[in-house]
Amino acid sequence: MPGDIGDRDVAQRVVHEAVERFGRVDSLINNAGVFIGKPFVDYSADDLQKVLHVNIAGFFHMTQIALRQMLEQGRGHVVQITTTLVDQANSAIPSGLAALTKGGLDAATRGLAIEYAGRGIRVNAVAPGIIKTPMHAPETHEFLDRMHPVGRMGEVGDIVDAVLYLERATFVTGEVIHVDGGQHAGH
């Protein structure tokens, strides 16, 4: 469904459409995100607003509205896509706003997991490293491969596999799975 993920009306339409089409909302994957990499002192107020709008407001609206539906159903699963940079900063990748916002999602994951565990709702997160997407020009891939201890960038399928694992792992909640080729462990 097209729309601005930071707009509450869009979140309401998404959940309403899901219920109309499928009768329920079993899983919510908060995948929308904005990354602006620059030194912290170079961020503008507009940069801050843009990142907060997508990374935080989008998460807040979608999760709050989906959780209400999941509570009515008596079960559900929410997964955030964060970043490994939350746990392993890298001087080659200035990422203050990503750490601020995605770090908030990391903390909210555990808080919501505990808040809703007794009501049949699980909350987890996946923290990717650098994933091979159109966001990264092919000429940067060799450099980006070397940023991971395993020697390669991740593939979209690596993230999908982690989310699918979390979908099947019904005894897992409050967990952040790092899918980052070992980046979070160090360099």
Is residue 104 in a domain?
yes
Residue 78 clears pLDDT 90, i.e. is over it: yes
What does the DSSP assignment read for the chain? Answer: --S-TT-HHHHHHHHHHHHHHHSS--EEEE-------S-GGG--HHHHHHHIIIIIIIHHHHHHHHHHHHHHHT-EEEEEE--GGGTS--TTS--HHHHHHHHHHHHHHHHHHHHHGGGTEEEEEEEE--B-STTS-GGGHHHHHTTSTTSS-B-HHHHHHHHHHHHH-TT--S-EEEESTTGGG--
What does the pLDDT read at residue 147? 85
Is residue 80 in a domain?
yes
What does the pLDDT read at residue 87? 83
Task: Give the CA angle between residues 34, 62, 178 to the nearest 5°.
Answer: 55
CA distance 66 to 76: 9
What does the pLDDT read at residue 102? 93
Is residue 2 in a domain?
no
Residue 92 clears pLDDT 80, i.e. is over it: no
The number of residues in the chain equals 187
Q: Which of 103, 18, 8, 95 is nearest to 55 (CA)?
A: 103
Is residue 137 in a domain?
yes
What does the pLDDT read at residue 148? 85
What does the pLDDT read at residue 146? 87
CA distance 140 to 7: 33
The arithmetic mean of pLDDT across residues 20-41, rounded, is: 95
Higher pLDDT, 91 or 16: 16
Is residue 118 in a domain?
yes
Share of the chain above pLDDT 90, in %: 76
pLDDT digits (tens, 9 = 90+) for 110-151: 999 999 999 999 999 999 998 998 888 899 899 888 888 899
Is residue 33 in a domain?
yes
Residue 171 clears pLDDT 80, i.e. is over it: yes
Number of independent structural domains in the chain: 1
Band of residue 156 on the pLDDT scale cut at 50, 70, 90 = very high
CB-based burial of residue 159 (10 Å sphere; 0-12 exposed, 13-18 middle, 19+ buried)? Answer: buried
Is residue 27 in a domain?
yes
pTM: 0.93
Q: What is the domain-level CATH number for residue 80?
A: 3.40.50.720
Average pLDDT, rounded, for the chain: 94
Domain of residue 144 covers 8-185
The arithmetic mean of pLDDT across residues 48-77, rounded, is: 97
Chain mean position to CA 185: 19
Is residue 1 in a domain?
no
Higher pLDDT, 148 or 29: 29
pLDDT digits (tens, 9 = 90+) for 115-125: 999 999 999 99
